[in-house]
Structure 1
Amino acid sequence: MTPEEMQGFQDKLRQDFGHTIRVRVEKPLTPEEREALINHIRYTRNDFNASIEIIEPIPIDFDFEVLPFEEEIQKPIQSPQNASSDASSTTSDKKDDSNWVYGPNWIVLQNRLLNAITDLTHNERRLIMLLSPKVRAAVDKNANQRTFMLTASEFAKEYGLEKDGTYQLLSELSDSLLQKAFWFYDFKADEVVNRKGSSWVAECEYLKGQGRIAVTLTDTVTEMLTVFDKSNTFTKYERRYIVELGSYGILMFELVSSCLHLQSGKKAYSVAYLRQKFNCTDKYGKITDFKTKVLDKAIAEVEKHTPLKVSYTENKIGREISEIVFCIRDTSSTSLEDIVKVFSPAEIKKYGWKLKDKHEVVSNFPQSIKTPVETQKEIEARMAKPEYYAEYVRYLKKLTDFDEKLHIKNMLKRAN
């Protein structure tokens, strides 16, 4: 057989039977995980006949290693515990097998970090958040990498800043981050086991003349930005939501985002913890000031710039407020079926006048209603009640210039 004939024979075998792909995972898979992994590999390789050999070891944590001969590893699909949207929707359009679960537009943090007590300034916090997808992508390719680069252009573009002023800002951040630490807790069976502290960075250097900062993170911080599984619960959200938020707004957004998985939509925090979390142990001593200048201000920012709606109630011990109970609602998925359908005051006024002379509308009104003014008032009163909504939509569509699509759009906007 000539080389050309041999090549043709091999190509025919691959076409008929597919390639054989070996995959090593570092935990035994359930049948569902195994099927999901096989389907994902076949789909990403565009080889639906491929034979997938899965090598499963003794149970250990979720780490993956590339096999010899450049054979490829894929992560099994995981079920995020605190994720606010389906993981498959985060896949980048660009094929990148090393980072297919969470794309570059997502910030993902372990809840240990999200709930930690920190004292970062607004821009220090912004820098750490912007590093999140960079660290995740880099560590996917090299598990030992700890130093990450961020340019002034990237920082300025992300947060809408003037580029010229960002050079000096990054230079200042490279110094200030070296002095910062944070404190977090280990939990077991929902009980605090141990309080730990960690520095944010091991080294930090502003590279003058290059317009960028080199940040070497500690192992602890790197783990909190890259390891997400059942033992390391996490929260994820889109980067765009925090761009316009202030320091209090970011803290509030992260805090309530971590609670979206709760069926009750509610989460209680002690006032003592919230004061620590918002760096207000020595400020706003009166609880009324703390609520007005910190919590209410943060909630207003969150509601203005994100799809979350937040309210809170108070729990007291005696006369003293001991806990704040947040109620969180995500309006990003609000549908027409989820809201009470009513007309806006402007629509009621406009169409009440237009319908007052329509016999089809007023023929069943009480005989006591005689004048046009009384008729219009009755129409407006009915349009304000949900039980008349469907009836008056029919009248408006048939008898007026009513734009139902615009009406629904505005109604959903008001509900959100």
Structure 2
Amino acid sequence: MTNQVGLYEKKYPANWVVMQNRILQAFYEMTLDEKRLLLLASSVVRLIDATEKDTIEITAKAFAEACNIQVDSAYTQLKDASETMMRRFFSYRNERGSRVNVQWVIRSIYEDGYVSLCFTDEVLLMLKVFDENNPFTKYKKEDVLKLKGEYSIDIYHLAKKHEAMSSWTMSLEEIREELALSKSYERINNLKVESSTQALKK
């Protein structure tokens, strides 16, 4: 794994977000700040070849600068996001077809000005292993972290995942299903238009 991570580091430096495509289905219920926290942590996980024992530290200052928010606000947003993420879990089917529930993080500590997270092995896999069996999407952090809309990061990820195609269309129903949108989004004008516009321009 070490040699692979060395290759990833050269190919995808710290200012790039790289994650498996299946992570989109796993984190759609997260708040905007939880997603921001995960995106910031993703490159650290990748570059140090993190295990469940490794703590990933994100400072309030780095969070504020990356997301273009005030530092005072970042302290509270970072604390709330880390505490909420601690209660999150997602599910998948294992090779025997059994449903497996997995927490995102196994430990979350908020210190004065930064948060420390320890991710589970399943999450670390989605943030470190990229190959033909684990399709992935990559983009620069600065292009996505300043997005403000509730679903802006999700739509951005979708757009980047399909950008190599000469054309790409999705029906409203497909978008609703992909992002697990509520019934209130049955009408197209209820989607966050500004979010999709920002995402597709990148």
Contact 1:109-1:224 at 8 Å conserved across structures: yes
Contact 1:159-1:243 at 8 Å conserved across structures: yes
Contact 2:28-2:154 at 8 Å conserved across structures: no
* One of 137, 140, 147 as aligned partner of 1:238: 140
Q: Give how far 1:107 is off.
A: 0.3
Q: What is the one-letter code of the residue matched to 1:299?
A: S
SS of corresponding position for 1:116: helix
Cα separation, 2, equivalents of 1:97 and 1:234: 15
The match for 1:108 is 18
Change (3 A) 1:219 1:154: same
TM normalised by structure 1 equals 0.43
The match for 1:226 is 128
Cα separation, 1, equivalents of 2:67 and 2:20: 23
Q: Give how far 1:150 is off.
A: 0.8
What is the aligned-residue identity percentage?
27
Cα separation, 2, equivalents of 1:234 and 1:101: 14
The match for 2:176 is 275
Cα separation, 2, equivalents of 1:116 and 1:270: 20
SS of corresponding position for 1:204: strand
The alignment yields a C-alpha RMSD, in angstroms, of 2.9
| 1:260 aligns to 2:163 (yes or no) | yes
The match for 2:70 is 162
Partner deviation per Cα, 1:372-408 (whole Å, 9 max, x = no partner): xxxxxxxxxxxxxxxxxxxxxxxxxxxxxxxxxxxxx
Partner deviation per Cα, 1:78-137 (whole Å, 9 max, x = no partner): xxxxxxxxxxxxxxxxxx878212101100010111243631111111111111111111
Partner deviation per Cα, 1:112-167 (whole Å, 9 max, x = no partner): 1124363111111111111111111121xx55644211111110111111112222
The match for 1:200 is 104
Q: Give how far 1:179 is off.
A: 1.9
The match for 2:199 is 302
Gaps of 5+ in 2: none
Contact 1:117-1:183 at 8 Å conserved across structures: no
Matches within 5 A, 1:175-194: 175-183=83-91
Cα separation, 2, equivalents of 1:212 and 1:75: 29
Larger Rg: 1
Change (3 A) 1:220 1:254: same
Cα separation, 1, equivalents of 2:129 and 2:99: 20
| 1:138 aligns to 2:39 (yes or no) | no
SS of corresponding position for 2:182: coil
Gaps of 5+ in 1: 1-62, 65-73, 77-95, 187-192, 308-416
Change (3 A) 1:197 1:281: farther
Q: Give how far 1:213 is off.
A: 0.5
TM normalised by structure 2 equals 0.84
